[in-house]
Amino acid sequence: MNIIRNGRALAVAMLLAASLQAHAQGGEASSSAPVAAAASGGATPASAKAADRALRRRVLNALAKAKGLRASGITVRAANGAVTLEGWVPEQAQIEQATRVAQSVAGVTSVTNTLTLSTF
């Protein structure tokens, strides 16, 4: 009985020691990244994603409100102020209009337009 208990205790102790060593090695690399980001004054990845989502929504709303623009076929991607318009519109003039509308939204630093024509 004592041998079984001692064996279990030894196994638990070995697992605990191995997990602590793995945690110390993995935690050392991952803990330096947030410290570096905080020291540089940069935004956290979560806040950057939230800002990108908010910019995407503002651009989509502006496209939806633009008169003479069919925005239902347009997809917007935003990353750090850079906006990409993807999808389709039914007329050539709407491609340029979508670019102008996106450029007019506050927070947009550049617009890449990959819209195509489609009549369906």
Residue-range definition of the domain harbouring residue 51: 45-117
Number of domains making up the chain: 2
Note the pTM of the prediction, 2 decimals. 0.62
Residue 50 sits in the same domain as residue 21:
no
Residue 29 sits in the same domain as residue 78:
no
Residue 56 sits in the same domain as residue 30:
no
Is residue 78 scored above 80 in pLDDT? Answer: yes
Contacts of 81 (CB under 8 A, 6+ apart): 55, 107, 108, 109, 110
Residue 36 sits in the same domain as residue 62:
no
Q: Are the C-beta atoms of residues 62 and 89 closer than 8 Å to each other?
A: no
Residue 61 sits in the same domain as residue 105:
yes
**pLDDT tens-digit series, residues 17-57:** 555 454 444 444 434 344 334 434 456 889 999 999 999 99
